[in-house]
Copies of this chain bind each other. A is one copy, B any other.
């Protein structure tokens, strides 16, 4: 079994945006409300931030709890890691996730402005200025035989799709338009020539799109 590159639990709006316009420290998804895009996931028993033992255990929970299954490394774009643009002015910024990031593996942040690696709990962040294929080779080596997750954002996923490097994608389409922002696609049909796709409406209102290579 080869090491797959997988998009897991990526949120988009019904008009195809992974985030809104105007990302900032206070608004990681820009003008879009993350609860509107990701509420289906936050309501599940397996959502990483949940500590109350409650939450749903139906379809949405299967998808959320698969997030880390068999994954040995993540690749993410710079804007998933940080709202900053340009050269780093603040090495104190260590991501949005506090002292216990939900990755628990090496994470490779794609950036034209590299900085030293650091660890937070069992997640180690590395900063690489590389094309998708080179970054993927690094992540695969770090994943020690396991699969690699492509964490987003939408621009990063598009770059890896353009390079034909993505093996599977789970994209959760929320029933809301946000009008503008960072676009993943005009339509999921754009991927139909290269991928099989199961389209699975959830009782929560979101529609899961599950793609795998033809």
Contacts and interface: CB of A to CB of B under 8 A. Distances in A.
Interface size class of A (residues with CB under 8 A): 20 to 34
Contact of A200 (B53, B197, B200): B200
A58 B197 contact: yes
Nearest to A66: B62
A56 interface: yes
Nearest to A201: B200
A210 interface: yes
Interface in A94-121: none
A135 interface: no
Interface string A152-169: 000000000000000010
Nearest to A169: B57
Contacts of A58: 196-198, 200, 210, 212
A197 B56 CA distance: 10
A75 B45 CA distance: 24
A200 B56 contact: no
Contacts of A70: 65
22 contacts: A1-B53, A45-B212, A56-B196, A57-B196, A57-B210, A57-B212, A58-B196, A58-B200, A59-B198, A59-B200, A59-B210, A61-B212, A62-B63, A62-B66, A62-B210, A65-B66, A65-B69, A66-B66, A69-B69, A198-B202, A200-B200, A200-B202
